[in-house]
């Protein structure tokens, strides 16, 4: 056994011992794994899975043939069998030709819904990127499909599996150190909105731009979009609220055990940078009103951050203390007497030394993804719902979409999750389902 195989086997053994009593059964069956979307985060999440479990990646799908070929080479280097996965350009063909135990959907946001639904119909359990959908009805349909076909679906909102945040929840919030919580502020001050304005052009030959666009409106190809820049456009996602707020709001809901907000309001727009091609807001505030608690979001893609240690995070205010939490750590600040507590993010370089050198890896997130994957695998074995079950992804994702709709309509929205409608607002209800470009057909939760 060479060093790489030894490390892979050791990592798999550590992970399987953490998964629990069903580990041997899982190892014996060697799950067949497929990836749809071979870009940055698709590979990052897949490689964390390969670190902790002996899955066999049998096929990859991407509309960018060059990206898919590169991913296939990288997977062959990392998986124990050293076999190169087969490559497809259309997820429908891949799901028709292959049999999978697990499918990972890591496409741009506008392509999460249809592949996820088809994967569960094909009998696979699914690991899907956040936010689960670009409109509310897509999310309803994805939840309905997961339940109808009895599949385990884990959403990659991995704050719920972040070690230092689990510690903060268990030792600070649950132990009452914050006292009565009266307000939460969430925020992102990264200068992350694309400010470029390159000319439109012909798509590269290795990119099937027709398929890349899929059900979204057809825009002229622009180099900003691919790879990774598509978040600059509302046609493919939900702006910074759908990208960054969704993480923090889900974290807060999990930490404080919150369900649906009673009502949602939002305002903002493009106030500072109207000249770039990007059409997402550069400034936005939103309030998720819960019973006795307002959870407030703010992002600015310009200016300075109030606390340089927390440019993206959440601050939970109680009458006995304050908790600041982010992907990089947490701080507890007591009100009056008491001991302040600081904790940094957990790294696992001794167990997984390749984390130090992997290109484009968010190293601080790698342990959280591994724990998220372990939870997913355990739930596959006992057929239970994972920590970031599709329903939690639906609640968080739909709430953030509704915040954008509240900004668009200029009204506070009250969403009734039982009937799946906004109360007393027909104009807003028409926005719950985005038009699909032909020949793609928008899914319906009653007929998935």
Question: What is the tens place of the pLDDT at every residue in 421-442?
Answer: 999 999 999 999 999 999 999 9
Q: How far apart are CA 366 and CA 358, in angstroms?
A: 11
Confidence of residue 20 (pLDDT cuts 50, 70, 90): very low
Same domain for 11 and 53: yes
Residues 50 and 170 in one domain: no
- Would residue 31 count as lying in a domain? yes
Total tally of structural domains belonging to the chain: 2
Average pLDDT over residues 23-39: 76
Q: Does 189 share its domain with 65?
A: no
Length of the chain, in residues: 448
Residue 182 and residue 172 in one domain: yes
Residues 6+ apart with CB under 8 A from 253: 259, 392, 395, 396
Q: pLDDT tier at 338 (50, 70, 90 boundaries)?
A: confident
Q: From CA 135, how far away is CA 127, in angstroms rounded?
A: 19
Q: Cβ contacts of residue 141 below 8 Å, gap of 6+?
A: 113, 117, 443, 444, 445, 448
Give a yes or no: residue 437 inside a domain: no
Shared domain for 81 and 230, answered yes or no, is no
pLDDT at residue 9 is higher than 70: no
In a domain, 292, yes or no: yes
Q: Does residue 218 sit in the same domain as residue 132?
A: no
pLDDT value at 38 more than 80: yes
Chain centre distance of CA 377: 18
244 and 115 belong to one structural domain: no
* 86-88 β-sheet, strand order: 86-88, 56-61, 32-36, 102-105, 125-128, 153-155
**Shared domain check, 134 and 23:** yes
- The per-residue pLDDT for range 245-302, each reduced to its tens digit, is 999 999 999 999 999 999 999 999 999 999 999 999 999 999 999 999 999 999 999 9
Euclidean distance between CA atoms 397 and 322, whole angstroms: 26
Same domain, 118 and 168: no
pLDDT one-digit tens code per residue, 87-144: 999 999 999 999 999 999 999 999 999 999 999 999 999 999 999 999 999 999 999 9
Contacts of residue 339, Cβ cutoff 8 Å, sequence gap at least 6: none
288: in domain: yes
Q: Is residue 442 included in any domain, yes or no?
A: no
Dihedral, 433, 434, 435, 439 alpha carbons, nearest 10: -90
Could you tell me the residue range of the domain that residue 259 belongs to? 161-346+392-432
- The answer on pLDDT for 21 being more than 70 is no
For β-strands 32-36 and 102-105, DSSP reports them as parallel
Q: Which two tokens stand for residue 327?
A: 């992907």
The reply to whether 397 and 259 lie within a common domain is yes
């Amino acid at each position: 056994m060479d060093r790489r195989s030894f490390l892979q086997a050791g990592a798999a053994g550590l992970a399987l011992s953490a998964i629990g009593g069903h580990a041997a059964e899982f190892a014996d069956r060697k799950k067949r794994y497929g990836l749809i979307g071979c870009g940055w985060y698709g590979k990052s999440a897949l490689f964390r899975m390969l670190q902790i479990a002996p899955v066999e990646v049998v096929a990859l799908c991407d509309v960018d043939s060059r990206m898919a070929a590169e991913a296939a080479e990288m997977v062959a280097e990392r998986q124990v069998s050293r076999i190169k996965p087969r490559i497809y350009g259309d997820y429908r063909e891949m799901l028709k030709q292959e049999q999978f135990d697990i499918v990972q959907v890591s496409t741009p946001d506008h392509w999460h819904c249809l592949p996820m639904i088809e994967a569960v119909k094909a009998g696979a359990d699914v690991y899907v990127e956040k936010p689960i959908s670009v409109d509310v009805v897509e999310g309803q349909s994805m939840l309905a499909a997961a339940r109808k076909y009895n599949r385990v679906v884990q959403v990659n909102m991995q704050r719920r599996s972040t070690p230092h945040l689990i510690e903060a929840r268990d030792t600070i919030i649950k132990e009452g150190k914050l006292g009565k919580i009266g307000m939460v502020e969430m925020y992102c001050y990264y200068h992350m909105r694309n400010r470029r304005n390159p000319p439109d052009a012909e798509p590269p030959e290795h990119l099937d731009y027709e398929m890349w666009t899929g059900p979204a409106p057809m825009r002229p190809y622009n180099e900003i979009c691919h790879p990774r820049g598509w978040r600059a456009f509302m046609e493919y996602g939900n702006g910074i609220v759908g990208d960054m707020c969704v993480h923090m709001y889900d974290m807060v809901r999990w930490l404080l055990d919150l369900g649906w907000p009673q009502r949602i309001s939002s305002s903002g727009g493009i106030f500072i940078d109207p000249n770039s091609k990007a059409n997402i807001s550069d400034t936005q505030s939103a309030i998720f009103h819960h019973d006795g608690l307002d959870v407030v979001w703010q992002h600015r893609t310009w200016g300075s951050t109030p606390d340089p240690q927390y440019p993206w995070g959440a601050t939970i205010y109680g009458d006995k203390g304050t908790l600041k939490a982010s992907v990089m750590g947490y701080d507890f600040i007591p009100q009056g007497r008491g001991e302040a507590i600081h904790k940094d993010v957990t790294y696992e370089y001794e167990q997984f030394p390749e984390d130090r050198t992997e290109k484009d890896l968010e190293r601080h997130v790698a342990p959280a993804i591994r724990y998220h994957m372990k939870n997913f695998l355990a739930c596959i074995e006992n057929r239970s719902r994972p920590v970031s079950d599709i329903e939690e992804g639906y609640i968080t994702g739909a709430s953030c979409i509704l915040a954008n709709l509240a900004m668009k309509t200029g009204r506070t929205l009250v969403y009734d999750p039982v009937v799946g409608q906004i109360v007393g607002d027909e104009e807003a209800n028409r926005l719950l389902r985005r038009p699909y470009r032909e020949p793609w057909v928008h899914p319906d939760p009653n007929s998935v």
